[in-house]
């Protein structure tokens, strides 16, 4: 009897772990759940159905507005049935991509998606729906200047990991760009009043959608942070200066996007529109016929017009006029020029997080290979003369790990001063909400280190998307460790208006022009005051 029992016991011991494992597997949800009754929630326009991926409710391509060409956005047309919102919607038409740099395209890994002029759509990621939990909302504006890009262009824009990590609601937005979003036809009738800033009015419409609908996605409509990189940062800056956008967001983050130093004067923007009509042989009385001009024809005509107006202004001795696509000082959406004290008052109560990356665009124009230190010094002497040694010492002071010849010439000296100027303006306003400054210096090891801390490098860290962006970041332990710190700071800023994360980062004081407090993001993060102050002063003083 005992002999017969032993094999049975051994068999039971062998089977038990398998049985337990099978039960555990049944309790574990599938990575992706989609179906008729899954991830359904309400919006003002009707119900939408998304899907759940790794526990995150995901919605793509939800219309937040509609608009005819050059017109102000309106609320989208309501729908009766549940709208499937599981695939990305269209981006704005842009110039076709005809060539790429292979090594850099490998790193960026663009997704150009599909285009349509009716591109007012957004995407949402959240942990839960309608649960009464007021999650901070983070609304992302994509880069590409005011001319190109979309909310799906880079893998780093995916909001799933950030939503999961911070229990925040992430929203990313498409809107009108280039000639469709910024051609100022206001001289041709009141219905075109907002055409010069139509793309920015789209962003306001997206924030109004958030205000009215985001509670259904588990978000807090009264705790909204707008953030964007490059052109997206420029758009954040514009909304901070607009009374039309006031109150629709409570915090702002500008990443490598402090390049907006002036809004385009109407005298210039209207001149570009008139030149576009001339290129198309359309008289002013027939301006409405622009509605039927194919996009490609309209786009090419507008680019010729911009070049013509720029050349004419140069002949007339006008300096500093921006004839490219930019926000327009229209007296309504933007009533005051950038930097005007009245403009600064509009965003006075909005905390600002602002910064840049160390190398920005310099990796795209690399120094000659096999360049020696003597070669670098000879090149610098042509630019800085007897201040060359002081320049090299200032570089070493700012970046103590500088050891290669290229290290003395590859840091950004354009975006960084503009970010400092924006921080100085904001922090100099009496009673203004605090400003926090950062400088991302981490160097990518991928492809022999050619990418360094290039433009867009930091986005993957802010969204905690290192694994999605291995071609740019390498996906190593150091990258993941830094992403933990950076994304935590962004989440805490969105939650409280303060990026400090106790035990994760050094103490991060608010920036002032006097203290120059700057958080350096690297394998070893550090808070420094005026970290590159001597270098920037020397460069600014160069004749």
From start to end of 358-400, where are the E strands? none
Token reading at 116: 């349509």
List all residues 6 or more positions away from 509 whose beta carbon is below 8 Å from its beta carbon.
515, 517, 527
Closest among 46, 57, 65, 121 to 89, alpha carbons compared: 121
H helices within 34-135, ranges in order? 102-108
Q: Tell me the Ramachandran region of residue 528: left when phi exceeds 0, alpha when psi lies from -120 to 50, beta otherwise.
A: beta
What does each C-alpha distance from 179 to 109, 182, 269, 308, 464 come to in angstroms? Answer: 26, 5, 11, 16, 34
Cα separation of 365 and 104, whole Å? 12
Q: What are phi and psi of 91, to 5 degrees?
A: -95, 170
Element (DSSP H or E) covering residue 538? helix 533-541
Measured CA to CA, the distance from residue 463 to residue 458 in angstroms comes to 9
Q: Which of 45, 175, 455, 488 is catalytic?
A: 455
455 is catalytic: yes
Neighbouring-strand partners of residue 253: 227, 353
Q: How many CB atoms lie within 10 A of CB 274?
A: 17
| 3-state class (DSSP) for residue 468 | helix
> How many Å apart are CA 227 and CA 301, to the nearest integer?
32
Q: Is 53 tagged catalytic?
A: no
CB of 204 closer than 8 Å to CB of 245: yes
**Active-site residue, 74 included:** no
User: Which residue is catalytic, options 160, 360, 427, 487?
Assistant: 360
> Which entry of 156, 230, 302, 487 is annotated as an active-site residue?
230
Asked if residues 238 and 260 have their Cβ atoms less than 8 Å apart, the reply is yes
CA distances 374 to 362, 391, 404, 411, Å, are 20, 15, 11, 19
Q: Which are the catalytic amino acids?
A: 230, 360, 455
């Amino acid at each position: 009897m005992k002999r017969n029992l032993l094999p049975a016991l051994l068999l039971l011991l062998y089977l038990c772990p398998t049985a337990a494992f099978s039960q555990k597997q049944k309790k574990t949800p599938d990575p992706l759940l989609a179906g008729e009754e899954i991830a359904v929630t309400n919006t003002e326009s009707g119900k939408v159905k998304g899907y759940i991926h790794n526990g995150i409710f995901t919605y793509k391509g939800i219309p937040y507005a509609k608009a005819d060409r050059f017109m102000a956005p309106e609320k989208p047309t309501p729908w009766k049935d549940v709208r499937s919102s599981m695939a990305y919607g269209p981006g704005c038409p842009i110039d076709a991509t005809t060539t790429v740099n292979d090594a850099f395209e490998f790193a960026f890994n663009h997704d150009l998606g599909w285009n349509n002029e009716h591109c007012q759509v957004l995407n949402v990621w959240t942990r839960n729906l309608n649960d009464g939990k007021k999650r901070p909302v983070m609304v992302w504006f994509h880069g590409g200047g005011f001319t190109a890009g979309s909310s799906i262009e880079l893998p780093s824009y995916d909001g799933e990991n950030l939503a999961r990590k911070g229990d925040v609601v992430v929203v990313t937005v498409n809107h009108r760009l280039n000639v469709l979003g910024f051609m100022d036809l206001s001289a041709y009738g009141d219905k075109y009043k907002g055409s010069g800033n139509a793309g920015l009015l789209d962003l306001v419409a997206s924030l109004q959608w958030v205000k009215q609908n985001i509670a259904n996605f588990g978000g807090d409509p009264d705790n909204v942070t707008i953030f964007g990189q490059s052109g997206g940062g420029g758009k954040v800056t514009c909304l901070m200066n607009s009374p039309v956008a006031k109150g629709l967001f409570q915090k702002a983050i500008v990443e490598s996007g402090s390049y907006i130093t002036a809004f385009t004067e109407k005298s210039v923007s209207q001149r570009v529109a008139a030149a576009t009509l001339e290129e198309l042989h359309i008289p002013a009385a027939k301006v409405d016929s622009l509605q039927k001009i194919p996009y490609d024809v309209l786009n090419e005509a507008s680019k010729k017009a911009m070049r013509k107006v720029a050349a004419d202004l140069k002949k007339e001795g006008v300096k500093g006029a921006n004839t490219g696509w930019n926000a327009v000082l229209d007296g309504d959406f933007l009533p005051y020029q950038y930097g005007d004290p009245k403009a600064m008052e509009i965003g006075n109560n909005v905390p600002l997080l602002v910064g840049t990356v160390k190398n920005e665009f310099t990796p795209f124009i690399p120094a000659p290979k096999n360049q020696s230190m003597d070669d670098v010094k000879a090149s610098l002497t042509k630019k800085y003369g007897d201040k060359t040694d002081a320049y090299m010492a200032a570089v070493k002071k700012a970046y103590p790990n500088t050891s290669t010849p290229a290290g003395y010439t590859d840091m950004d000296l354009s975006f960084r001063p503009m970010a400092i100027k924006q921080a100085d303006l904001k922090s100099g306003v009496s009673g203004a909400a605090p400003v926090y400054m950062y400088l991302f210096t981490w160097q990518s090891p991928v492809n022999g280190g050619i990418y360094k801390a290039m433009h867009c490098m930091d986005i993957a860290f802010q969204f905690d998307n290192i694994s999605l962006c291995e071609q740019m970041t390498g996906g190593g332990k150091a990258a993941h460790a830094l992403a933990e710190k950076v994304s935590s700071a962004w989440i805490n800023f969105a939650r409280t208006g303060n990026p400090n994360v106790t035990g994760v980062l050094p103490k991060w004081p608010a920036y002032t022009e006097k203290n120059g407090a700057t958080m350096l993001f690297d394998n070893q993060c550090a808070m420094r005051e005026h970290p590159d102050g001597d270098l920037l002063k020397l460069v600014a003083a160069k004749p």
